[in-house]
A and B are shown apart, each in its own frame.
Chain A
Amino acid sequence: MAAAAPQPDIAIRNLNALLEVATQMGKVIDLDELLELIVTKTTAVMDAERSSLFCYDPQTHELWSKIAEGLGSGEIRFPAEQGIAGETLATRKIINIPNAYQDSRFNASFDEATGFRTRSVLSAPLITGEGDVAGVVQVLNKTSGEPFSADDEKLLMALGTQAAVALQRAQLFQVQLEQQKTHEALRLAADIQMNMLPRDDEPFLARKNLEVASYLRPAKEVGGDFFDYFLVDDDHLALVIADVSDKGIPAALFMAITKTLIKSVARTGLKPDQILRQVNDDLLQQNEAGMFVTIFLAIVDLNSGEVAYANAGHGHPYQVTTSGEVIKFEAVGGVALGVTDMIDFDAGVALLAPGSFLVAYTDGVNEAMDADDAEYGYERLEALLHKKMADSASLVRAITDDVETFVKQAPQSDDLTVLVYRHR
């Protein structure tokens, strides 16, 4: 039977319906709302009993549907080759089945599950402006009882194009929304992380026999460096500077655990080498990601200036005397924490004369790089330390300014941290 030429009134009705649907779809950005709109409008415009919309998921090569009218809510998923929808997707052509039960491609299980009786099926691809197939729309049973006509085919194809564009737009919007959420979560994590650092108005900092200054600037929002200072008892101050491998949320969590462990173990009165050994064993209990952290830990006797320290694979700090002498802290054996169990850390001792600085830093200082990949290096740092500084804060600022001047416009590649203590 040859298809009759479209009746003028039908053509106008179709055009109006299309315009109306296109306008409405243009207003909806929420994906779920849009899916529902497409289904209900398709049923109405096509003068059919039911519609289903299947979206294509290119990552899993599946078709999924949130709403198959009359089936209630919930999502169904199936391989993208399956059934009439699968064939529509693969061939990108409309399929018109006048009698479903006489067609081998028809899957009667939905009818069986719902009690619905499918007579005719019209299945059209949703082709986007770029020519990709975003999914498949299917309409079931014309209310007139007739099979779908050639005009219906054209109308559904046109409707499909509108739906494809709207779908693509909504999905893009959703991706952007999720990115924004991730970004906000990261910013929040960065705030929490910065709040974990000791405050610069801790009451004990007002004591006359000590002076502490610090600086930390993460390279990304959430970094892996941290420092800490706290009183172990009335006469002893703990100084911690550390660098967790890698950055981002996992590094931040590892950092939070490490920082908490160090503080609680240090307060039991152990020596720095014993503290690191115990924290290492604790960290290894659960470290599937292979994270590790380099730490320099010192406990300063605030009266005598004696510094007991241990080093878990961290860059050696410096002692700067009042006469401008720059002395490296003697290297002591130790591996970064989280690497291997049952290791011992060596104990180091140094003596700070009144007025001397202890300068600790992370590799963001010595490995800071300029645009030509030249490193700031230890020599520049040592040269700077020879200059006389008024107090800890000036020294911290001098280091960070010097690094900044050196790297110029090059992007910061690693977290940068400086911790300075001065014995008074």
Chain B
Amino acid sequence: MSDFPCELSGNVLVVTLVGRLDTNTSPQLEKLLAEKLEADPVKGLVIDFEPTEYISSAGLRVLLMAAKKMKSGGGKLILCAMSEHVQEVFDIAGFTPVFNIEADRALAISAGRA
């Protein structure tokens, strides 16, 4: 099962990905992000991968869309706390240099504020 708890830290929205981000759960995240960013266009969006078990290409697509959306609004998307396994998926797809990736949540939030 997947769950995406959200927390606002100043003008940075932190979304934690619990569980799996695959074909079945990605649409939920896509909808959640669209709603949150619509309601409150924050400056920084942080996605915390600490409790993430798995990410598929469908999940990568949602992140890519989020990055584009943040960029077009003058904000930025920062990913953080990836496990080796999740990092590997990013590496293979060649996504690592495309995204802003920080080691942990605190670093990601301060990068989002900057």
Question: A: which residues have CB within 8 A of B?
Answer: 219, 224, 243-247, 289-292, 294, 312-315, 333-336, 339-340, 363, 367, 373, 413-414
Chain A residues closer than 8 Å to B22, beta-carbon distance: 413
Task: Among B23, B60, B97, point to the contact of A292 (Cβ < 8 A).
Answer: B60
Chain A residues closer than 8 Å to B58, beta-carbon distance: 245-247
Judging by beta carbons under 8 Å apart, are B23 and A247 in contact?
Answer: yes
In the complex, which of the residues A224, A247, A313 has the most CB atoms of chain B within 10 Å of its own CB atom? A313
Question: In whole Å, how far is A370's beta carbon from the nearest beta carbon of chain B?
Answer: 14
Question: In whole Å, how far is B87's beta carbon from the nearest beta carbon of chain A?
Answer: 14
Once the chains are docked, how many angstroms separate the CA of A290 from the CA of B72? 14
Judging by beta carbons under 8 Å apart, are A290 and B95 in contact?
Answer: no
Question: In whole Å, how far is B72's beta carbon from the nearest beta carbon of chain A?
Answer: 12
Once the chains are docked, how many angstroms separate the CA of A373 from the CA of B65? 28
Judging by beta carbons under 8 Å apart, are A246 and B64 in contact?
Answer: no
Which residue from chain B places its CB closest to the CB of A335 in the assembled complex? B94
Judging by beta carbons under 8 Å apart, are B23 and A335 in contact?
Answer: no
Judging by beta carbons under 8 Å apart, are B64 and A290 in contact?
Answer: yes
Judging by beta carbons under 8 Å apart, are B98 and A292 in contact?
Answer: no
Judging by beta carbons under 8 Å apart, are B65 and A335 in contact?
Answer: no
Question: In whole Å, how far is A186's beta carbon from the nearest beta carbon of chain B?
Answer: 15
8 other A-B residue contacts (CB within 8 Å) besides A219-B23, A294-B92, A414-B23 = A224-B57, A246-B23, A290-B65, A292-B60, A313-B93, A334-B94, A335-B97, A414-B56
Q: Interface extent on B, as a size class?
A: 10 to 19
Once the chains are docked, how many angstroms separate the CA of A313 from the CA of B97? 12
19 inter-chain pairs at a CB distance below 8 angstroms, sorted by A residue, are: A244-B57, A246-B57, A289-B65, A290-B68, A294-B92, A294-B93, A313-B92, A313-B94, A313-B95, A333-B94, A335-B93, A335-B97, A339-B64, A339-B98, A340-B98, A367-B56, A373-B53, A413-B22, A413-B23
Once the chains are docked, how many angstroms separate the CA of A390 from the CA of B101? 46
User: Is B36 in the interface zone, CB < 8 Å from A?
Assistant: no
Question: In whole Å, how far is B93's beta carbon from the nearest beta carbon of chain A?
Answer: 4
Chain B residues closer than 8 Å to A339, beta-carbon distance: 64, 94-95, 98
Chain A residues closer than 8 Å to B95, beta-carbon distance: 313, 335-336, 339
User: Is B26 in the interface zone, CB < 8 Å from A?
Assistant: yes
Judging by beta carbons under 8 Å apart, are A245 and B92 in contact?
Answer: no
Residues in B71-97 with C-beta less than 8 Å from chain A = 92-95, 97
Question: In whole Å, how far is A140's beta carbon from the nearest beta carbon of chain B?
Answer: 45
Judging by beta carbons under 8 Å apart, are B93 and A336 in contact?
Answer: yes
Chain B residues closer than 8 Å to A363, beta-carbon distance: 56-57
Chain A residues closer than 8 Å to B56, beta-carbon distance: 363, 367, 414
In the complex, which of the residues A246, A333, A413 has the most CB atoms of chain B within 10 Å of its own CB atom? A246
Judging by beta carbons under 8 Å apart, are A246 and B98 in contact?
Answer: no
Once the chains are docked, how many angstroms separate the CA of A334 from the CA of B92? 9
Question: B: which residues have CB within 8 A of A?
Answer: 22-23, 26, 53, 56-58, 60-61, 64-65, 68, 92-95, 97-98
Question: In whole Å, how far is A142's beta carbon from the nearest beta carbon of chain B?
Answer: 52
Judging by beta carbons under 8 Å apart, are B23 and A312 in contact?
Answer: no
Which residue from chain A places its CB closest to the CB of B85 in the assembled complex? A375
Judging by beta carbons under 8 Å apart, are A335 and B98 in contact?
Answer: yes
Chain A residues closer than 8 Å to B53, beta-carbon distance: 373
Once the chains are docked, how many angstroms separate the CA of A315 from the CA of B92? 6
Once the chains are docked, how many angstroms separate the CA of A312 from the CA of B68? 20
Question: In whole Å, how far is A146's beta carbon from the nearest beta carbon of chain B?
Answer: 56
Once the chains are docked, how many angstroms separate the CA of A334 from the CA of B61? 17
Question: In whole Å, how far is A268's beta carbon from the nearest beta carbon of chain B?
Answer: 24
In the complex, which of the residues A291, A333, A336, A363 has the most CB atoms of chain B within 10 Å of its own CB atom? A336
Question: In whole Å, how far is B56's beta carbon from the nearest beta carbon of chain A?
Answer: 7
Chain B residues closer than 8 Å to A367, beta-carbon distance: 56
In the complex, which of the residues B26, B64, B68, B98 has the most CB atoms of chain A within 10 Å of its own CB atom? B64
Chain A residues closer than 8 Å to B65, beta-carbon distance: 289-290
Judging by beta carbons under 8 Å apart, are A312 and B64 in contact?
Answer: no
Question: In whole Å, how far is A281's beta carbon from the nearest beta carbon of chain B?
Answer: 16
Once the chains are docked, how many angstroms separate the CA of A244 from the CA of B93? 11
Judging by beta carbons under 8 Å apart, are B61 and A246 in contact?
Answer: yes
Once the chains are docked, how many angstroms separate the CA of A367 from the CA of B56? 9
Once the chains are docked, how many angstroms separate the CA of A367 from the CA of B92? 13
Once the chains are docked, how many angstroms separate the CA of A243 from the CA of B60? 13
Task: Among A245, A289, A312, A333, point to the contact of B60 (Cβ < 8 A).
Answer: A245
Judging by beta carbons under 8 Å apart, are B92 and A312 in contact?
Answer: no
Once the chains are docked, how many angstroms separate the CA of A68 from the CA of B49? 58
Once the chains are docked, how many angstroms separate the CA of A294 from the CA of B93? 7
Question: In whole Å, how far is B25's beta carbon from the nearest beta carbon of chain A?
Answer: 11
Q: Contacts A246-B23, A414-B23, A414-B56; is A291 near B61 (CB within 8 Å)?
A: yes
Once the chains are docked, how many angstroms separate the CA of A313 from the CA of B64? 14
